[in-house]
Structure 1
Amino acid sequence: MNRYANKIVAFDLDGTIIDEQGNLYTGVFEGVKRLHAKGIRSLIVTGRHIDLFCDLSLSNEFLELFEDFVLCEEGNVIYNWKEKRVFVQNQIQLECFEDFFSTNINKSNFIWSSKGKLYASSRSALLYYSLLYNVKNYAHITIFDPNRHRFEEITFILVFTQDFNVQNIQSNDDKYQIEYINGKLQRMKITPLITCKSINLNNFLNEKYKLNMQNVIAIGNDNKDYFLIKNSRIGIAVQYSTPQLISIADIHLDQDIGTFLRTYDWEV
C-alpha cells in the first residue's frame, strides 16, 4: 500500500514554479518527478485562464507528473488537459451578466469567459487583453456576435475602464466579487462570489478523492494564495513571497523552490 496515497501537493504557478517568462525554475522538473516517484499526487492551482495556461507550452513530460485536472481561474474552472474538457465549479449568475452586458456593451470594453472560452465585447477589448497578458496569438478569443453566440457559465468579466463606476455593477453586491486593479491597464475584474483557491480545491478533492485540505501541502508566493496556504495541512511560502503570505505560512523557504523539492522530507 502506498503510504503517500492520501497526500496532495498543490502548486501555484506564476512566481512559485515558473518565472515571468513562463519558464520552470531550475530544479522544479526534477523535484516534481521525485514526488511522482514516491506516489504523491501533485495538482496545479492557478489564477490563469485555460488559454493562458495552455500558452505556457509546458511539456507533456512535465504535465504527466501531475493529476490530469488543472484548477484554473482560482479553481472556478477545472480543466482536464489530457481530454481538453472543461468543468465549471462556480459561475456568475446569468441574469447579473445579462444586465451588465445590455447596459455596458456600447460603453465599455470587456472580456469574459464562458465555459472556458474567451469572448470580447469589441476589437479594442481583445487588443487590451492581448497587451495585458502578452498574448501572441489571440485567434482563440472570439468577438461576440449576439446572432451566433449565447451566454452560459460565465466565470469572469474583465472590464477595461477609466471609470470604476460601471453601471449595473455595485461594490456592495453580494452576488459576485469585484477587484479594482490599477497598473498596466486600469481594469475591474468581476468573478463569482466564491472565488477562492482553498474552497474550490477542497470541494474538488472531496468530490474526486474524498479528501480535503488537511491532506494538502500547498506552495504559493503571493496574496492570491493566502487561504490556500493558511487552510492547508502545511502551507509553504516560496523564497520571494509577499510579507502577508510569509506571515501565515508554516514554512518560508530560505532556498530556491527547485532545491526544496529535491531535498524536502515528504514523510511529514
Structure 2
Amino acid sequence: MPDLAFAAFDLDGTLVDERGVPLPGTIEGLARLRDRGLALLLVTGRSTVLFEALGLPEHLLELFGPRLLLDNGNVEYDRATARAAYRRALPREVVPALLAAGFTELVAELDHRYVATSRRASTWFAMAHRLPRSSIEVDPQLGGRAQVGSVLVLDRVPLPDGLLGGAVEAIPFAGTAAKLLRPAGTCKTAAVTALLAEQAGEADLKRVIAFGDGRNDRCLLASAAVGVAVADSHADAAARATMRLSGPIGDFLAAFHPDTLVRRDRPDVVEDCAH
C-alpha cells in the first residue's frame, strides 16, 4: 500500500474548540506530522466570514499549505493574502427566484460576506454564529453582488418543488427549521481530491489520512486511506472511519506512527454526501 503523504483535517471539534482555541497537543502533533514528511491540509465547513471570525493563531495556520478549503470545500482561501475564491457557487438566479416566490427571511453569502433581507434575519443569524449584528448587511433585495455562495432560508414554509433546479441542494440547518441552500454535490472529499490533483498530481486519496468529527466529515473519512474519527464524533462519521479515538487527538498525534494505523484497501462507497 502506498506510503501516506497527506493529512487532511477538519477544524471545529477536531483541532480547535468552540472558541477557536487549539486543543491540547494539536499544534505540537501537527508539527510532528509535518516533520515526518506529511503535507497538511485544512478543510472546514466554515464560510470565509466564520473562518476569519475565529482569529486562529498564525502558528497553527502556518503548519498548513497556502491554500485552505472552506465551506465544505466550495471556497479556496489563500492564507498569505487572506483572499477567498469560490470553487463552486450557486446559480445567480437563485436569489431572484426565492424573492419572486415570496420568501422574505433570507441570509445570503454574497461575495464572501453575509447579507440579510431583514433585521430579524440578520439578528437570528448573528446570534446563531456569535457574530456582531453590524457585520451583516441588510438589503431586502440582496442585490449588487456577483457570486452567491449559499442562502439560508428562515421562512417556515416549504420550498416549492422545482424552484431551484438540480444545481442546488437544500439541507437542514444545525437542527433548526431553517434550510441551507448550497451547490449540489457539496462534499469535502471532492474538494480535497481536486486540490491534490492540482497541487500534487494525485489521482485519488490513497495516500491520505483524514481526521474529523462531524457528519460533514463522513465522506472524507470513508474515502481516505485512513479515516480517523476523533473522540465524541457524530455517529455517521465514526461509522465511516477506520479508526475511532477515545482520547485527545493531541495524544494520538504525539504517538503517531504509520505502522499502527488501520488502513482500508479501497474507499467505502458513500452514495449521499449531504450533511
State the TM bucket, normalised to the shorter chain.
0.7 to 0.9
**CA-atom RMSD in angstroms:** 2.4
Does 2:115 correspond to 1:119?
Answer: yes
- 1:96 Cα deviation (Å)? 2.9
Percent of aligned pairs sharing the same letter: 26
Q: SS of the counterpart of 2:101?
A: helix
The corresponding residue for 2:273 is: none
- 1:84–1:138 Cα change, 3 Å: farther
Q: Provide the residue aligned with 1:154 in structure 2.
A: 148
Long gaps (5+) in structure 1: none
TM-score in terms of structure 1 length? 0.87
The match for 2:185 is: 194
Alignment of 1:1-268 (within 5 A): 7-104=5-102, 107-135=103-131, 137-144=132-139, 149-163=143-157, 165-166=158-159, 170=163, 173-181=165-173, 183=175, 185-211=176-202, 212-266=204-258
Amino acid at match of 2:23: Y
Aligned to 2:18, what secondary structure does the other structure show?
Answer: coil
Q: CA deviation at 1:262?
A: 1.2
In structure 2, what residue type is equivalent to 1:218?
A: A
Moved over 4 A (4+): 167-171
Q: Is the 8 A contact 1:94 1:151 kept in 2?
A: no
- Give the Cα–Cα distance (whole angstroms) in 1 for the partners of residues 135 and 161 of structure 2: 28
Q: Could you report, residue by residue, the CA deviation over 1:78-131 in whole angstroms, capped at 9, with x for unpaired residues?
A: 111221111211111112332123434xx4211111232222222222111111
1:236 Cα deviation from its structure 2 partner: 0.7
Distance 1:151 1:100 in 2: 16
Moved more, 227-236 or 12-21: 12-21
In structure 2, give the amino acid aligned to 1:10.
A
Query: How far off its partner does 1:170 sit?
Result: 4.9
The answer to whether the Cα contact below 8 Å between 1:10 and 1:219 also exists between their aligned partners in 2 is yes
Provide the aligned length of Structure 1 versus Structure 2. 258
Shift of 1:182: 6.5
Which structure 2 segments of 5+ residues have no match? 262-275
Structure 2 CA distance for partners of 1:226 and 1:150, relative to 1, 3 Å: same
TM-score computed with the length of structure 2 as normaliser: 0.85
Contact (CA 8 Å) 2:126, 2:136: kept in 1 or not? Answer: no
